[in-house]
Amino acid sequence: MKIIVCIKQVPSTQKVAVDPTTGVLIRSGIDTKMNPYDLYAIDLALQIKKSTKAQLTAITMGPDSAKAVLKEAMALGCDDGVLISDRAFAGADVLATSYTLASVVSSIAKDVALVVCGKQTTDGDTAQVGAEMAAHLKMPFVGLVMGIHDVTTTSIGLTSDQGNQLVDLNVNYPAVISVSEKVGQPDLPSYFRLSQMDETKIKVVTLQDLDDHDPNHYGLSGSPTQVEKIFEPTHDNDHVLIHGSTKEAMDHFVEVMTSNHYFRGKDHG
Amino acid sequence: MGELRINHDKCVVCKQCITACAFNALSVEDGHISVNSACRLCGSCVKKCPLHAIEIVEDRHVIDRDQYHDIMVIAEIDGSTIAPVSYELIGEALKLAAIRQDKVSVAVLGYQLDDMVKSLKGYGLDHIYVFDDPSLSIFRCDVFANVLYDFLSKRKDNVVLIPATLNGRSLAPSIAARFKTGLTADCTKLEMRENGDLVQIRPAFGGNIMAMILNSHARPQMATVREKVMDRAIYKNDDSGTIEKIMVEPSLLQSSVLVETVHDLPKASNISSATRIIVIGRGVPVSDHPRIHGLAKKLDATIGYTRPMVEKGIGSVLYQIGLSGRTVKADWILTLGVSGAIQFTAGMDQSSLILAINNDPNASIFNIAHHGMVADVSQWLDEWEKRYGSLQ
């Protein structure tokens, strides 16, 4: 039985700015880390591995430096790692990204039972790649898994968070799932284990390794959406700032609340 | 991939491109520069051309925009009612539709929907499409996506809007990938262009940047919108909205996902439906919290929290406002000792009336507050008690 967990290397900070003259994104610093939501995915995948003796592979798409997150995943207990790296994959939107990942899964693990994803990344924040992957792979998708039960080598019980209700589902493999952070506190890799990891266990997959290696289906060419421009959020100018005594601050508050009929002064009750 | 395009209006046939080309892909034919199949799109000629008359154009499947009209909203069901976010999406869809005289319809999936769908009449909708089947009583992503894709693929909708609820965030990508079309998550602003392109604006990098996204190479254009971002549709009290039941092909309902049990969670046990909110931030001493609860009681408001307060264990995550918590669109919201990080304000800045009290005049909350008051929260509460009595 094979399980694949999809992880991503993300910037450590969300502090970014737009260069006002060129309109280009300026990222402050180049520190990276594993997308924090992926730790929950790895943790759940490890639980399933434990009861099924499955082979667990971590995959990530990114530059050579993204091997760092694969090493982390292996330090946590994944059996091996796959780096998906090719210039043809650059500039991908959600559709092209999910197609690339799906294409890798179907090319390297035709008999995969379960694909496990974090609920979203902290840089893209779309929470869409997992479900799109499932559609490309023609597998069912179960989102926001917060618990598992009755784990066997042919099926799995999943509790899915649907907002106002929790739904227990039983799913025959194969399937793609995303994992909610409500699943429980995940482990962090120890520095010692991380230093023991052998980078040669990481396989690099390029366009030519995929069953579908038509470059038009990947990267910028395979992306139906384009970011037309980026800009800094603007704020309305309709603002009042009272900078005086506490009494003045209270006067202003009471005036605004009463004029909007939210407060009636002393007889309010 | 793409193709090399020569602008013959700019080109003076100086032939510098021909010399620059390493593949003998360019020549002069009938007095014009011509490209042959040897071209590798290396771009050497583009760089060489002194008149910028050569460009590499991405070769795309060109869609015929005029074939696509109308907007479909996928409704969300919450228990035995149509969820409020559905009316917000309908309201936005009607505004977008006005630009090109498009029609707006809604699709509702579930079980025993007869009474529920009647409440969608009178809002100016064209059709209310109803998919009523016991297999649709509980959301299963693959089944819902199969049914909706089958339905939508027989139509030529220009835009499909889906609520960015927990289920919608699984459903929307499942449909978009089946169409091989683009999908923009959590749009905060939508605009319709005359040519039918939908301009989709969403926050990126935790709201530090706004991105304007177009999906000009595929249809339908799909977007999700969170609740309380758009204005609710106005009830017109007319007969609009033809209810049409759609027979669901049984094969579409088959799935390897089986529902075992459903646990209903207590309703409204979170901040997102509150209309009057007082937010406690890091700048308020814990000893003042009881007085703020007293103030909330007096003003019939719900207490909300910022992320640091929830991380400290003071507030429940269900009452956390912001990108990592809930989004609110309150009638009024008063923030006390809240600095106003974008992570927080993105979850409340659509509120109608924003009031903020903070002792730091440079706090960024004052950039979004309609009424900012520089004051010490404890002293401000003293002043309240002096005027209106004890808050304990």
Q: How many residues does chain B have?
A: 392
CB B49 within 8 Å of CB B4:
no
Question: How far, rounded to the nearest angstrom, does the alpha carbon of residue A171 sit from its chain's CA centroid?
Answer: 22
Q: Tell me whether residues A161 and B166 touch, CB distance under 8 A.
A: yes
DSSP 8-state assignment for residue B164: -
pLDDT at A235: 56
Cα–Cα dist A15/A27, whole Å: 7
pLDDT at B14: 94
- pLDDT confidence bin for A22, thresholds 50/70/90: low
Q: State the sign of the Cα–Cα–Cα–Cα dihedral A43, A48, A50, A55.
A: negative
CB B217 within 8 Å of CB B177:
no
CB B331 within 8 Å of CB B354:
no
Same domain assignment for residues B78 and B196: yes
Q: Tell me whether residues A142 and B141 touch, CB distance under 8 A.
A: yes
CB A83 within 8 Å of CB A205:
yes
The mean pLDDT value of chain A amounts to 89
In a domain, B355, yes or no: yes
Query: In A7-140, where do the E strands start and end?
Result: 9-11, 16-18, 25-27, 32-34, 55-61, 80-84, 112-118
Long-range pairs for A82-87: beta carbons < 8 A, 24 or more residues apart: A82/A57, A82/A58, A82/A108, A82/A202, A82/A203, A82/A204, A82/A205, A83/A59, A83/A202, A83/A203, A83/A204, A83/A205, A84/A59, A84/A60, A84/A205, A85/A61, A85/A204, A85/A205, A85/A206, A86/A206, A86/A207, A86/A218, A87/A219
Question: A6-20, A149-163, B9-23, B101-115: which has the minimum mean pLDDT?
Answer: A6-20
Domains of chain A: 2-217 (3.40.50.620), 235-269 (no CATH)
Among partner residues A93, A143, A241, which is closest to B169 by beta-carbon distance? A143
Q: Tell me whether residues A166 and B379 touch, CB distance under 8 A.
A: no
Q: How many domains does chain B have?
A: 3
Same domain assignment for residues B311 and B234: no
Residue-level pLDDT, tens digit, chain B, 392 residues? 467 888 888 899 999 999 888 778 899 988 899 888 677 777 788 888 999 899 877 656 678 888 999 999 999 998 889 999 999 999 999 999 999 999 999 999 999 999 999 999 999 999 999 999 999 999 999 999 999 999 999 999 999 999 999 999 999 999 999 999 999 999 989 999 999 999 999 988 766 788 899 998 899 999 999 887 888 899 999 999 999 999 999 999 999 999 999 998 765 567 888 889 999 999 999 999 999 999 999 998 999 999 999 989 998 888 999 988 889 989 899 999 999 998 899 999 989 899 999 999 999 999 999 999 999 999 999 999 999 999 98
Same domain assignment for residues B81 and B173: yes
Same domain assignment for residues B222 and B279: no
Tell which of B139, B142, B214 to mutate to test the A interface (max A CBs under 10 Å).
B142
Which residues are CB-contacts of B286 (< 8 A; sequence separation ≥ 6)?
B314
Same domain assignment for residues B284 and B362: yes
Its domain, for residue B136, covers 65-253
In a domain, B276, yes or no: yes
The domain that holds B181 is classified in CATH as 3.40.50.620
Residues of B whose CB is below 8 A from A262:
276, 299, 331-332
- Cα(first)–Cα(last) distance of chain B, in Å? 70
Cα–Cα dist A32/B343, whole Å: 20
CB B33 within 8 Å of CB B6:
yes
| Residue in B204, B212, B199, B230 with CA at minimum distance from that of residue B323 | B204
Instruction: Give how far B60 is from chain A: nearest CA, Å.
Output: 8
Cα–Cα dist B182/A94, whole Å: 7
Cα–Cα dist A160/B296, whole Å: 35
Q: Tell me whether residues A123 and B205 touch, CB distance under 8 A.
A: yes
Cα–Cα dist B168/B148, whole Å: 12
Task: Report the 10 Å Cβ neighbour count for B173.
Answer: 32
Instruction: Give how far B326 is from chain A: nearest CA, Å.
Output: 12
Give the A:B interface size as CB pairs under 8 Å. 258
| Cis peptide upstream of residue A11 (ω within 30 degrees of 0) | no
In a domain, B34, yes or no: yes
pLDDT at A41: 98
In a domain, B266, yes or no: no
Residues of A whose CB is below 8 A from B184:
225
Cα–Cα dist B199/B143, whole Å: 30
Residue A241 one-letter amino acid: L
* A25 reaches B (C-beta below 8 A): yes
| Residue in A118, A133, A12, A111 with CA at minimum distance from that of residue A58 | A118
Closest chain B CA to residue A24: B209
Cα–Cα dist B294/A238, whole Å: 30
Residues of A whose CB is below 8 A from B326:
none
Same domain assignment for residues B156 and B231: yes
- From B58, B81, B96, give the residue that closes a domain: B58
- From B222, B253, B284, give the residue that closes a domain: B253
Query: Residue B65: how many CA atoms within 13 Å on its side-chain side?
Result: 12
Question: How far, rounded to the nearest angstrom, does the alpha carbon of residue A10 sit from its chain's CA centroid?
Answer: 9
Six-digit token pair at A141? 């998708």
Tell the residue number behind the tokens 């690339």, with chain if given.
A100
Residue A10 has pLDDT above 80, yes or no: yes
In a domain, B265, yes or no: no
- From B32, B58, B84, give the residue that closes a domain: B58
Closest chain A CA to residue B146: A135
pLDDT at A12: 81
In a domain, B126, yes or no: yes
The domain that holds B20 is classified in CATH as 3.30.70.20
Among partner residues A130, A144, A229, which is closest to B166 by beta-carbon distance? A144
The domain that holds B382 is classified in CATH as 3.40.50.1220
Tell the residue number behind the tokens 């996204």, with chain if given.
B213
Instruction: Give SS3 for A61.
Output: strand
Instruction: Give SS3 for A17.
Output: strand
Q: State the sign of the Cα–Cα–Cα–Cα dihedral B16, B20, B22, B23.
A: negative
DSSP 8-state assignment for residue A173: S
In a domain, B260, yes or no: no
Cα–Cα dist B303/B332, whole Å: 12
Same domain assignment for residues B129 and B172: yes
Cα–Cα dist A261/B277, whole Å: 15
Residues of A whose CB is below 8 A from B332:
257, 260, 262
Six-digit token pair at B286? 């814990």
Among partner residues B173, B298, B368, which is closest to A235 by beta-carbon distance? B368
Same domain assignment for residues B310 and B383: yes
Q: What residues of chain A, 141 to 160, have a C-beta less than 8 Å from chain B? A: 141-144, 157
CB A100 within 8 Å of CB A61:
yes
Q: Tell me whether residues A246 and B375 touch, CB distance under 8 A.
A: yes
Residues of B whose CB is below 8 A from A235:
367-368
Cα–Cα dist A149/B292, whole Å: 43
Among partner residues B170, B218, B371, which is closest to A224 by beta-carbon distance? B218
Beta bridge partners of A218: none
Same domain assignment for residues B239 and B287: no
Q: Tell me whether residues B371 and A141 touch, CB distance under 8 A.
A: no
Residues of A whose CB is below 8 A from B79:
164
**Torsion angle defined by CA atoms of residues B163, B165, B169 and B171, in that order, rounded to the nearest 10 degrees:** -70
Same domain assignment for residues B148 and B233: yes
DSSP 8-state assignment for residue B55: E
Burial of B40 (0-12, 13-18, 19+ CB in 10 A): exposed
Among partner residues B199, B264, B379, which is closest to A164 by beta-carbon distance? B264
Q: Tell me whether residues B366 and A241 touch, CB distance under 8 A.
A: yes
Same domain assignment for residues B100 and B217: yes
Instruction: Give how far B238 is from chain A: nearest CA, Å.
Output: 31
Same domain assignment for residues B141 and B229: yes
CB A127 within 8 Å of CB B185:
yes
Beta bridge partners of A229: B212
Q: Tell me whether residues B141 and A141 touch, CB distance under 8 A.
A: yes
Among partner residues B1, B183, B209, which is closest to A215 by beta-carbon distance? B1
Query: Residue A80: how many CA atoms within 13 Å on its side-chain side?
Result: 12
Q: State the sign of the Cα–Cα–Cα–Cα dihedral A170, A174, A180, A185.
A: positive
pLDDT at B22: 79
In a domain, B261, yes or no: no
Convert the pLDDT of each residue in A64-97 to its tens digit.
Answer: 889 999 999 999 999 999 999 988 888 788 999 9
Q: Tell me whether residues A170 and B257 touch, CB distance under 8 A.
A: yes
Query: Residue A222: how many CA atoms within 13 Å on its side-chain side?
Result: 23
Q: What residues of chain A, 201 to 240, have a C-beta less than 8 Å from chain B? A: 215-216, 220-221, 223-233, 235-236, 238-240
Q: Tell me whether residues B380 and A220 touch, CB distance under 8 A.
A: no
Q: Tell me whether residues A232 and B210 touch, CB distance under 8 A.
A: yes
pLDDT at A201: 85
